[in-house]
Amino acid sequence: MILTESAPAKLNLALHLRRRRGDGYHDLATVFAFTQFGDSLSVAPSRELSLSVEGDFAEAAGQGRDNLVMRAARALAEAAGISEGAALRLEKRIPVAAGLGGGSADAAAALRLLNRFWGVDWSLAKLLALAEALGSDVPACVASQTCFGEGRGERLAAWPITLSGTPVLLVNPGVAVPTGPVFAGWDQIDRGGIPIGAGLQGLRNDMTAAAVGIAPVIAEVLDAIDRAGGATLVRMSGSGATCLGLYPDLASRRVAAAALASRGWWQAETALL
């Protein structure tokens, strides 16, 4: 028996930084959203716990025991007292170190998948406690629904505006941007939080300036999506370098994607879950 679970890419439709904390993290406010596009994780019976990674970004993701999928699997096995193994296979389509939460999405998918496969049968709420220890974005990825996040991203609340089905264009210029240095480059000016349900156009990604400082091509990507036209929102996701456009319909997303194709950047045409 082989079971499969999708690992939707994570977007930050807005990301406001509030405060650098003493523990090395930042308090933030964010609107998380997820796309139909993502990685895929499958599992087959095995005595040992193992992971093989395939797909466009397999090499960048790494095969080893340190992959977040393996850490998630070990955490669940330990917490639930499981001694069985699992042969996991990850199809890696989400670019790595790209602001799309790829590793977090994979870890969350591993929790959901093995929860079923091993018959652990925990509620999503119970999986969240394990998710939090694996990374700041992992709890949001467990639910993979548009939501509001606070704290270091682990305190979640409902987002009252339905965005499901909204066409999205993702554009990544092929520069891996490590998260830590982008946080470190923030000017530490608190520009305010996110009122629940606020219009997205009036919100920001406060990591943009620092990310552009590390990878100047991000400014070009944002400008190119803007100039391609039709987007209701153009924004960098997470700590970059992926930028997104939201569109009112499929036709306008297609027109923008076609206009940008000649740049030779990685692109994905998808929609919000």
- Out of 22, 81, 165, 180, point to the residue binding ligand C5P (CB under 6 A): 180
- Out of 16, 93, 112, 152, point to the residue binding ligand C5P (CB under 6 A): 152
Would you call 10 a catalytic residue per the annotation? yes
Q: Distance (Å, rounded) from C-alpha 159 to C-alpha 220?
A: 30
CB of 10 to ligand C5P, least distance (A): 11
CB of 144 to ligand C5P, least distance (A): 16
| CB nearer ligand C5P, residue 17 or residue 257 | 17
24 binds ligand C5P (CB under 6 A): yes
| CB nearer ligand C5P, residue 20 or residue 126 | 20
| CB nearer ligand C5P, residue 55 or residue 185 | 185
165 binds ligand C5P (CB under 6 A): no
186 binds ligand C5P (CB under 6 A): no
| CB nearer ligand C5P, residue 109 or residue 225 | 109
28 binds ligand C5P (CB under 6 A): yes
25 binds ligand C5P (CB under 6 A): yes
- The bridge status of strand 26-44 relative to strand 147-150 is antiparallel
Which residue is catalytic, options 10, 39, 92, 206?
Answer: 10
Would you call 92 a catalytic residue per the annotation? no
- Out of 136, 144, 205, 242, point to the residue binding ligand C5P (CB under 6 A): 136
96 binds ligand C5P (CB under 6 A): no
CB of 30 to ligand C5P, least distance (A): 9
| CB nearer ligand C5P, residue 25 or residue 266 | 25
3-state secondary structure the chain: CCEEEEEEEEEEEEEEEEEECCCCCEEEEEEEEEEEEEEEEEEECCCCEEEEEECCCHHHHCCCCCCHHHHHHHHHHHHHCCCCCEEEEEECCCCCCCCCCHHHHHHHHHHHHHHHHCCCCCCHHHHHHHHHHHCCCHHHHHHCCCEEEECCCCEEEECCCCCCCCEEEEEECCCCCCHHHHHHCCCCCCCCCCCCCCCHHHCCECCHHHHHHHCCHHHHHHHHHHHHCCCCEEEECCCCCCEEEECCCHHHHHHHHHHHHHHCCEEEEEEEC
Helix axes 102-117, 68-80, angle to 10 degrees: 30
Looking at the annotation, which residues are catalytic? 10, 137
User: Which residues bind to ligand C5P, rule: CB under 6 A?
Assistant: 24-26, 28, 135-137, 152-153, 179-180, 183
